[in-house]
Amino acid sequence: MDDTPGGFVDPTKETFAEFRALDRSGPVHMLNLVRFREQADYEDGTVATGAEAYASYARESGPVFERLGGRQVWVGKPELMLIGPQSEAWDLAFIAEYPDKDAFVAMLRDPDYRKAVRHRQAAVADSRLIRMEPRLPGARFGEMDGAEDA
């Protein structure tokens, strides 16, 4: 990860290679946890809050995401860290779905996305991006359908 003071913003080459090596067909869910900078940190000195810069990122990268078959399946505003480090307070949590891992890779390589990502880099103080295999809920709380495969 790119070590911006206090946070993780971009994947390393090693973790990106691991992502690509996980060869599973079908949809990929990406859990996003995002903490904004109070003031965005643009290299060119553009003045904006972190939230405003992230909104620019979403606005510019959204068409690429949708063109490649992506969709947002869940979004929420974190309110309280009940269990976990209090230092990991997040401003935004969402799950993005891609038709497959190749769609995610194609997004990262898309020229329009690469232009838009500067807003994300300026906006984000810290983040987590967790690749997940979507599953159906199981019959009981805390279970998932096909848990025997896990």
pLDDT averages per 10-residue partition of the chain, 150 residues: 57 89 93 97 96 98 98 96 92 98 97 97 96 91 70
Return the pLDDT at 111.
Answer: 98
Q: Residue 33 in 3-state DSSP? A: strand
Of 95, 81, 104, the closest CA to residue 135 belongs to 95
* pTM for the whole structure: 0.87
List the domains of the chain with CATH numbers: 27-81+88-134 (3.30.70.100)
Judged by DSSP in three states, 135 sits in coil
Q: Are 6 and 125 in contact (CB under 8 A)?
A: yes
> Which stretches does DSSP call E strand in the chain?
3-4, 7-8, 28-36, 71-76, 92-98, 124-132
